[in-house]
Amino acid sequence: TGGPSGAGRCPSAVWAGGLRPGPGAGSVRVLLEGDGYEGLVVIVGSSAVAQPELMADALKASLALNAKPVVAFISPHAPRAATVLSGYGIAAFQAPESVGAALAAMWRVHPRDPVPVAPAAPEQARPPVACPERGALDESQAKALFARFGVPGVREIVVHSAAQAIEAARQLGPRVVVKLLSADIMHKSDVGGVAINVASEEIASRLDRMSADVQRHTGAAPRAFLVQEMVSGAAEMILGFHRDPLGSAVLLGMGGVVAELIRDTTLLLLPDDGSALTARQVEAALRRLKTWPLLEGYRGRERADVPALVGAVLAFAGMAQSLGDRLVEAEINPLFVKPLGQGVCAADAIAILREDGSEFR
């Protein structure tokens, strides 16, 4: 459907989506990638009665194309199609009035101007990145790896004693975060290995307590710690790498310590032809999150630096594609998204690489 600029020239395409979904997928792509139209209504008829999944699979990829609204009107003869499409995140209705109301609501909620993102360098122009690491990396090593691919981390210093920690805090600020540093323990909070908002005068006693807690839980005394800057006033996102038999994907959603409780995430499939994700695909994924309004400045909050977030997601996806089968697991949680113009930084990170493999991309 066209906006004001498309008045009088609303295109249409007809195909038996429940029998031959291929032609329809091409039509959807053309309409969503065109600049003259601001949304898409798919009318699902009786051809989808027997196998609604065929039609739904043809539409599923359209969600990752851009942020234009996609809404489906379902024939009374194919009610199961509504369930299948809803499971894919496509709003589906059996009344035309509901379709119109949904489109109007989507246009009110989502601005029509795309998020500005600096254009990425062409894939062929990207220089190879050294990656000599093997096995499970500790947090500092993981963030160093991500930074080489373009995802910055918080300011931090690795320490091995209370004296070094006190000096690190003097450099990083009046209050800091202190963490256990270990490649063997992924979830440091579960063993008492994280302390936030620690003042300089509290560091020595806090390290002693942390060492005792970790040893009680794991049976081993910590050998190293991280002292990090405190970051406040930032949105917290989760960014991860997911691999399954159907292909690799980047997981994106709201993060922090309650990420598993909220479960507001979405997956971006990585192209299997070697091409890169696009800023439009990342923006569309962000807008699918229930908590997207928090990034937009919900109830007086500062607008988050979404362009920097989109750039970080593209860099992370590029890393996953560059490392290929060498990358077993990767996650950033939280990825701090600061107010607009201030960028992003990884506050915690996990990375596991295969023991074999070449040193370079």
> Under DSSP, is residue 198 helix (H, G, I), strand (E, B) or coil?
strand
pLDDT score of 97: 75
What are the residues facing 201 on neighbouring strands? none
pLDDT score of 91: 81
Dig out the tokens for 99 from the structure.
């379709």
Is residue 296 a contact partner of residue 307, using CB atoms and an 8 Å limit? Answer: no
- In angstroms, the CA 208 to CA 190 distance is 17
Domains 155-229 and 235-353 share a fold: no
Q: What is the enclosing helix (H) or strand (E) of 280?
A: helix 279-287
Stronger pLDDT, 359 or 139, i.e. the higher one? 139
| Dihedrals phi, psi of 288, to nearest 5 degrees | -80, -15
- In angstroms, the CA 266 to CA 63 distance is 11
Q: What confidence tens digit (pLDDT) does each residue in 149-170 have? A: 999 999 999 999 999 999 999 9
Cis check: omega of the bond before 307, within 30 degrees of 0: no
Stronger pLDDT, 53 or 188, i.e. the higher one? 188
**Cα–Cα nearest to 43, from 8, 14, 64, 20:** 14
- In angstroms, the CA 234 to CA 337 distance is 5
Q: Which of 116-125, 152-161, 253-262, 297-306 has the lowest mean pLDDT?
A: 116-125
Q: Where are the domains of the chain?
A: 13-106, 155-229, 235-353
pLDDT score of 151: 97
- In angstroms, the CA 181 to CA 77 distance is 59
pTM: 0.66
Exposed (0-12), middle (13-18) or buried (19+): which is 163, by Cβ within 10 Å?
exposed
Q: Which of 97-106, 118-127, 133-142, 202-211 has the lowest mean pLDDT?
A: 118-127
Stronger pLDDT, 150 or 52, i.e. the higher one? 150
pLDDT(58) > 90: no
Q: Tell me the CATH number for domain 13-106.
A: 3.40.50.261
Average pLDDT over residues 311-335: 95
Stronger pLDDT, 101 or 167, i.e. the higher one? 167
pLDDT(130) > 70: no
pLDDT(102) > 80: no
pLDDT score of 150: 96
pLDDT score of 154: 97
Q: Which residues contact 203 (CB under 8 A, 6 or more apart)?
A: 162, 165, 166, 169, 176, 178, 227
pLDDT band at 30, cuts 50/70/90?
low
* Helices 79-87 and 52-60, packing angle to 10 deg: 30
pLDDT score of 118: 45
Q: Which residues contact 204 (CB under 8 A, 6 or more apart)?
A: 162, 165, 166
Q: In the CATH hierarchy, which fold is given to the domain comprising 235-353?
A: D-amino Acid Aminotransferase; Chain A, domain 1 (3.30.470)
pLDDT score of 295: 94
> Under DSSP, is residue 249 helix (H, G, I), strand (E, B) or coil?
strand
Q: What confidence tens digit (pLDDT) does each residue in 200-246 have? A: 999 999 999 999 999 999 999 999 999 999 999 999 999 999 887 66
- In angstroms, the CA 263 to CA 181 distance is 27
Q: What is the enclosing helix (H) or strand (E) of 229?
A: strand 225-229
**Cα–Cα nearest to 172, from 229, 97, 129:** 229
pLDDT score of 53: 72
Is residue 342 a contact partner of residue 353, using CB atoms and an 8 Å limit? Answer: no
pLDDT(361) > 80: no
Return the top range by mean pLDDT from 9-13, 98-102, 227-231: 227-231
pLDDT band at 43, cuts 50/70/90?
confident
Q: What confidence tens digit (pLDDT) does each residue in 254-278 have? A: 998 777 777 889 989 898 887 899 9
How far from the centroid of its chain's Cα atoms is residue 44's Cα?
31
Is residue 306 a contact partner of residue 115, using CB atoms and an 8 Å limit? Answer: yes
Average pLDDT over residues 16-28: 55
User: Does 3.30.1490.20 match the CATH number of domain 155-229?
Assistant: yes
